[in-house]
């Protein structure tokens, strides 16, 4: 390693490069870095001269990274994380830490899981800042790139599913928090209840009904829909909405049926007069999982956050055997 040459490089330029690789836009990158577009363009030109590569090509759809920039994008997040950790104390003291951590979570986790771990986190580390965002289709890439620290989402346990835990992207570590299953909700005076009370509640009846569906990670279909498709069936999705509470409201004021994780059903029933029904078919459970990048496996602050979340949720769900490292 030639330290003399390295000393000539402004490491801030690497941070700038990472943001540009993520945003593919000078305007958005400048906004994130709190600098002017002119200043960012000058920094980019400096880095181009240093590395001897144009790094980006302007297109009608934004900045397109060169082959060299793509190669750098595979190394930069780990390099920058290593530099960040060099600036941190060798240990993490929750009571005095003022660090900031970010989460991306599926909507149902806010009701189902946060009540169990937010207290233990902030009671023991009152000066932490915890920023949370809704889990979306871009959350996994953000986790890989270091834009967020943790993810909490649902993953299918069906071995044929593309959402299976073992198929998470490279570098993403996980810990299962708890397992759940699907149930159905209908309004308390739904016409179907008479038929169900008469003993008619089966897959055929379920498929005859109209459904309200929550879009998850930008998708209208859930794992259940792909499973039904493999069996030659399809649900009639009459309405799709962006969140669980919206779906519960639609369900309470219509004849639509709402299929959802059982852990959220109770929260919906506190707001609306809804009746819970079992899913009239065999279907694999799902798991709520905590996700992080393996580059943070041994980072003291990250490790304390993970252990606190896992322990708190395990205690709440009486699943102490589920607590441990990934």
| Structure token digits, residue 174 | 């996980």
Query: Closest by alpha carbon to 17, among 52, 37, 44, 51?
Result: 44
pLDDT value of residue 310: 94
pLDDT digits (tens, 9 = 90+) for 47-103: 998 889 999 999 988 899 999 999 998 888 878 877 877 777 677 899 999 999 999
pLDDT value of residue 147: 86
Residue 240 lies in a domain: yes
What is the Cα–Cα distance from 187 to 189, expressed in whole angstroms?
A: 6
Q: Are residues 244 and 318 in the same domain?
A: no
| Range(s) of the domain holding residue 24 | 3-74
pLDDT digits (tens, 9 = 90+) for 229-254: 999 999 999 999 989 999 999 999 99
Q: Are residues 173 and 196 in the same domain?
A: no
Residue 160 pLDDT greater than 50, yes or no: no
Residue 5 binned pLDDT confidence (cut-offs 50, 70, 90): low
Residue 185 pLDDT greater than 70, yes or no: yes
| Structure token digits, residue 131 | 């920023």
**190-195, Cβ contacts within 8 angstroms, sequence gap of 24 or more:** 190/255, 190/257, 190/275, 191/255, 192/255, 192/257, 193/275
Find the mean pLDDT for residues 271-283.
95
Considering only residues 125 and 90, tell me which one the structure prediction assigns the higher pLDDT. 125
Instruction: Name the helix (H) or strand (E) containing 260.
Output: strand 257-261
CA 255 to chain centre: 31
Q: How many domains does the chain have?
A: 3
- Cβ pair 149, 241 in contact under 8 A: no
pLDDT value of residue 2: 58
Q: Does the reported pTM lie above 0.75?
A: no
What is the Cα–Cα distance from 72 to 187, expressed in whole angstroms?
A: 54
| Angle, CA 285 vertex, CA 279 and CA 287 arms, to 5° | 135
pLDDT value of residue 141: 87
Residue 195 binned pLDDT confidence (cut-offs 50, 70, 90): confident
Name which of 207-211, 218-222, 317-321 the model is least confident about. Answer: 317-321
Query: Closest by alpha carbon to 74, among 189, 2, 213, 170?
Result: 170
Task: Among 74, 99, 121, identify where a domain stops.
Answer: 74
Find the mean pLDDT for residues 197-204.
90
Residue 79 lies in a domain: no
Q: Are residues 254 and 271 in the same domain?
A: yes
pLDDT value of residue 165: 58
pLDDT value of residue 325: 38
Q: What is the CATH number of the domain that holds 34?
A: 1.10.10.10
| Structure token digits, residue 6 | 């390295």
pLDDT value of residue 157: 60
Residue 321 pLDDT greater than 80, yes or no: no
Name which of 69-73, 136-140, 265-269 the model is least confident about. Answer: 136-140
pLDDT value of residue 164: 55
Query: Closest by alpha carbon to 305, among 112, 83, 122, 108?
Result: 122
Q: Are residues 199 and 262 in the same domain?
A: yes
């Amino acid at each position: 390693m030639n330290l003399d040459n390295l000393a000539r490089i402004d490491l801030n330029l690497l941070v700038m490069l990472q943001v540009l690789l993520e945003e593919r836009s000078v305007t958005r990158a400048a906004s994130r870095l709190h600098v002017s577009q002119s200043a960012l363009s000058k920094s980019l030109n400096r880095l181009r001269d240093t590395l001897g590569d144009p790094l980006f090509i302007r297109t009608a759809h934004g900045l397109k990274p060169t082959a060299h920039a793509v190669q750098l994008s595979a190394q930069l997040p780990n390099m920058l994380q290593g530099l960040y950790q060099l600036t941190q104390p060798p240990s993490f003291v929750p009571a005095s830490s003022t660090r900031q951590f970010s989460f991306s979570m599926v909507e149902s986790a806010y009701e189902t899981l946060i009540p169990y771990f937010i207290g233990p986190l902030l009671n023991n580390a009152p000066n932490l800042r915890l920023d949370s965002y809704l889990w979306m289709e871009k959350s996994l890439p953000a986790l890989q790139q270091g834009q967020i620290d943790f993810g909490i989402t649902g993953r299918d346990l069906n071995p044929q599913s593309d959402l299976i835990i073992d198929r998470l992207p490279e570098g993403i570590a996980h810990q299962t928090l708890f397992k759940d299953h699907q149930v159905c909700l209908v309004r308390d005076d739904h016409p179907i209840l008479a038929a169900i009370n008469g003993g008619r509640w089966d897959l055929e009846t379920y498929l005859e009904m109209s459904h309200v569906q929550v879009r998850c990670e930008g998708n209208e279909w859930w794992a259940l829909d792909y499973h039904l498709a493999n069996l030659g069936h399809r649900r009639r999705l009459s309405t799709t909405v962006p969140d669980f509470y919206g779906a519960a409201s639609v369900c309470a004021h219509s004849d639509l049926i709402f299929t959802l994780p059982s852990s959220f059903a109770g929260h919906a029933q506190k707001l609306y007069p809804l009746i819970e029904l079992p899913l009239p078919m065999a279907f694999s459970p799902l798991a709520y999982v905590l996700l992080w990048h393996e580059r943070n496996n041994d980072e003291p602050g990250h490790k304390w956050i993970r252990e606190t979340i896992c322990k708190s949720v395990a205690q709440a769900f009486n699943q102490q055997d589920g607590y441990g490292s990934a």
